[in-house]
Amino acid sequence: MGWDAFGLPAEQYAVQTGTHPSITTRANIETFRRQIQSLGFSYDWDREISTTHPAYVRWTQWIFALLYDTWFDEAQGKGRPISELPIPEGLNAAQKTAFINSRRLAYIDEMAVWWCSALGTVLANEEVIDGKSERGNHPCMRLPLRQWMLRITAYASRLLRDLEEVEWPDETKKQQREWIGESQGAEVDFQVEGSEDKIRVFTTRPDTLYGATFMVLAPEHSLVTRLTSKEQADAVHDYVLKTASKSELERSANKEKTGVALGSYAINPVNGQRIPIWISDYVLATYGTGAIMSVPGHDERDGEFARQFGLPIIQVVQAPEGFEGECFTGDGVAINSELINGLPTPEAKKTIIAHLESQGKGKGKTQYRLRDWIFSRQRYWGEPFPIIHRQDGTCELVPDAQLPVELPELEDFRPSGNPEPLLAKAREWLNTKDSSGKEALRETNTMPNWAGSCWYYLRFIDPRNNEQPWDAEREKYWMPVDLYVGGREHAVLHLLYARFWHKVLFDRGYVSTSEPFRKLFHQGMILGMAYEDAEKKLIPSDEVKETEGGFEHNGQPVKQVVAKMSKSLKNVVNPDDILKEFGADSLRMYEMFMGPLEITKPWNTKDVGGVARFLQRVWRLIIDEETGQVKPAGEKDAPELERALHRCIKKVGDDIERMAFNTAVSAMMIFLNEASAGGAPTLSQSQRERFVLTLAPFAPHLCEELWERLGHQQTLAYEPFPSYAEEMLTDDVIEVPVQVNGKLRARLQVSPEIDTAELEKMARQAVAEWLEGKETKKVVVIPKRMVNLVV
RNA sequence: GCGGGAGUGGCGGAAUGGUAGACGCACGGGACUUAAAAUCCCGGGAUCGCAAGAUCGUGCGGGUUCGAGUCCCGCCUUCCGUACCA
């Protein structure tokens, strides 16, 4: 069991209550541990770890240091130590440092984050709604801040390719592929008119270069200020400010195109055309180069923008005959494009790229949608970076022997009022010495919650090792993770970040597999019941009364719906209460019975009673409630139930393998129904034992008790799962449906060995009235399954 | 907006392209009980019918097939993710 316990919620709670997050975190862990243990799960508690524990933080920092010490060798396609980085000759010391830093997998850059001046703090995306803070509804804006970044994009190609190696759900692989978003195209440089500046763009359609009639930069683009004319300065400034209050999500969701011309022009590299430069929020700074060439004739968004602002539209790809849309975005034959007229799109692309390369104006390029990972937070409750900033502006790692860098004690977790991270408030902690003994400052950012969860599966291998993060031999024995169970919400973030770290560790020789998780399974979320009034407003559960055949709130009927459990809706289910009322086995079994593991489904406490009743009936099958004694067993295996038991054992075993626990529980209920039906024979000792062993993985507490009462001194935990015999699975008589033209008309009771001709004959007799006076055109007989007569 | 899923009785759900609704909850009826709880038995998709049975039925509209909840195309609704919640 591992506790991933850094993060925003713990910190916000500390702000609200003034209690140190380490105290609340410890208390929460105690509660969770007690609850989990009360359910009887078979976790190995000797391997318990917490991401917030200094002994764990130490190695999280160690991995960060490794990332800092690694560069990605494009030629070899792998990460290598900085000591092996070839450094160009003729650089001075500062240039050399800058060059090395520009290649590290961990580097510093300015990146935009939400800043709310009224609250005096940096906010998470989810804390900002429509450009306003969730708390207090204050205006917020995107502010560029110094951030630690991780160069995950260097691994984009391998993260994409290696998906083929893992047994993951197809939809998850698909999501990761889309997220990484590889696209082939070209980088093209546009010269700015009357200037040395060049605007570099990425395009997937270099063949449409002749149709580029304007350019659009992201409002945050570094050239914006320089390329703005005096006349446009105010309008541009206003627009940049306005954009800063929008999220990227809003920007790309907005259909209405907005923008401002900078008042400067660029030169189209293929035809020397002078084209205007605009800024618009539909171009994102974080994708490609943050600038595009606009081809309104063949790109939807560019087309909308051109029509909005009356910019020229040129057709450069022949649309197919009968095409009626305003904007043809498919492949075709190039037109109005001197160099490539008449060429189909793929050839046209190649030709243009070759031309640009020969002119030094562009080159073919593979672009990824994936962005480098912002790896720092301006918060308290996270891992400190093992970094010291020297007076000369360079930085160095805290020596390995001095790890972990522990968090300073802070009295006050409230925002500092400026974008500086909270740790800057810890003056004593902040001031330190660098390796040469000079005054220096510690890094004040902290790591995001992902850091700890990126490698915990490796620490489980060797959780108490004080010399190294894990022992190499043990790593070889355990890795890769056989089965990784986690929510779908992790599909592209956690699961991609962890794979990235793992690949760096692999390249640097610390792990033996290129992928961490062999097989992946997503469990569904358990939701609660909620109530919705006529205006679709959700009503807290404690204000709703159950009436005959419905529910009402203040006398008005309300609808029962499914919603996330939340304090505000008063529909949170506490496992302690369920345990008290129904017991651990009932709770476990209900969770398995309520539906397929992978789907989202609502909790319904009434249904727990059904499972509890099943377990009570199992008890009464074996124990006499009056006397409390074991009932006498049948002399021999009751033959009527032996087949049913074999079927049950097979079904439960198969269902466990495919993690279909709901149908496994159902199979055991069916067996119990058969074994306890009026007139059913008494189960033999062997049959009882086999049934108890089948049920034991689901209801271990009950089954251990029954096992002991059935005369065993040792736990059943190490008993093998019961076996079944193939020949016991079939019945002497099976039912075969007979259809006429696909409609069910009769059912036959036949032997499973009946031959096809005989079966057809019987079928014809059974549905004679439907065949009368009609010609049989076709007969479909599927042995043991069905007969269909087509007339 | 973009990416990925999901839609079956009153509810949770079951069903290798082959009898739709297993199993359970809730509900109705009955047995036991002075009564209730607990327990046990029976019933149940909709419509028509005393019944036997017939017709319709897996979000909507098409298609493939002897046969579609299941496969294909187009919609609708809804959930998840969208990079600082984790």
Provide residues 479-498 of A with CB closer than 7 Å to any strand B atom: 488-494
Give dist(CA A227, CA A42) in Å, integer. 65
Nearest nucleotide to the CA of A672, by C1', is B23
Q: What confidence score (pLDDT) does residue A548 get?
A: 61
A741 CA to B54 C1' distance (Å): 16
- Conformation bin of residue A127: beta by default, left when phi > 0, alpha when psi is -120 to 50: alpha
Whether the Cβ atoms of residue A374 and residue A363 lie closer than 8 Å to each other: no
Q: Is the CB atom of residue A593 positioned under 7 angstroms from any atom of strand B?
A: yes
Query: Strand order in A106-116's β-sheet?
Result: A121-123, A106-116, A141-150, A373-374
Q: Is the CB atom of residue A146 positioned under 7 angstroms from any atom of strand B?
A: no
A568-598 tens-digit pLDDT? 778 888 999 999 999 999 999 999 999 999 9
Nearest nucleotide to the CA of A549, by C1', is B10
Burial class from Cβ neighbours inside 10 Å (0-12, 13-18, 19+) for residue A779 reads middle
Residues shown for chain A? 791
Provide residues 350-409 of A with CB closer than 7 Å to any strand B atom: 369-371, 373-374, 376-378
Nearest nucleotide to the CA of A667, by C1', is B23
Give dist(CA A290, CA A593) in Å, integer. 51
Nearest nucleotide to the CA of A610, by C1', is B24
Q: Which residue is nearest to nucleotide B24 (CA to C1')?
A: A610
A132 CA to B42 C1' distance (Å): 61
Q: Is the CB atom of residue A595 positioned under 7 angstroms from any atom of strand B?
A: yes
Q: Is the CB atom of residue A126 positioned under 7 angstroms from any atom of strand B?
A: yes
A331 CA to B68 C1' distance (Å): 36
The complex scores an ipTM of 0.94
A610-662 tens-digit pLDDT? 999 999 999 999 999 888 899 999 889 988 899 999 999 999 999 999 999 99
A701 CA to B41 C1' distance (Å): 31
A465-517 tens-digit pLDDT? 999 999 999 999 999 999 999 888 888 999 999 999 999 999 999 999 999 99
Q: What confidence score (pLDDT) does residue A61 get?
A: 97
Q: Is the CB atom of residue A598 positioned under 7 angstroms from any atom of strand B?
A: no
Helix (H, G, I), strand (E, B) or coil at A552: strand
Q: Is the CB atom of residue A12 positioned under 7 angstroms from any atom of strand B?
A: no
Contact residues for A572 (Cβ-Cβ < 8 A; gap 6+): A528, A565, A566
Q: What confidence score (pLDDT) does residue A735 get?
A: 84
A334-374 tens-digit pLDDT? 999 989 999 999 999 999 999 999 999 999 999 999 999 99
User: CA of A548: how far to CAs of A12, A346, A557, A566, in Å?
Assistant: 43, 68, 11, 26
Percent of chain A with pLDDT over 90: 67
A600 CA to B79 C1' distance (Å): 9
A111 CA to B81 C1' distance (Å): 22
Residues in chain A with pLDDT < 70?
A: 534, 547-550
Q: Is the CB atom of residue A252 positioned under 7 angstroms from any atom of strand B?
A: yes
Q: What confidence score (pLDDT) does residue A200 get?
A: 95
Q: Is the CB atom of residue A523 positioned under 7 angstroms from any atom of strand B?
A: no
Give dist(CA A728, CA A731) in Å, integer. 8
Nearest nucleotide to the CA of A381, by C1', is B84
Q: Cα angle vertex A721, ends A720, A725, to 5°?
A: 115
Provide residues 547-586 of A with CB closer than 7 Å to any strand B atom: 562, 564
Q: What confidence score (pLDDT) does residue A100 get?
A: 96
Q: Which residue is nearest to nucleotide B84 (CA to C1')?
A: A124
User: Does the pTM exceed 0.90?
Assistant: yes
Q: Which residue is nearest to nucleotide B1 (CA to C1')?
A: A253
What are the φ/ψ torsions at residue A735 (nearest 5 degrees)? -100, 130
Q: What confidence score (pLDDT) does residue A29 get?
A: 94
List all nucleotides in chain B with at least one atom under 7 A from a protein Cβ. Answer: 1-6, 11-16, 18-20, 22-26, 38-41, 54-55, 66-68, 79-86
Amino acid type, A499: R
Q: What confidence score (pLDDT) does residue A655 get?
A: 95
Nearest nucleotide to the CA of A561, by C1', is B11
Q: Is the CB atom of residue A733 positioned under 7 angstroms from any atom of strand B?
A: no
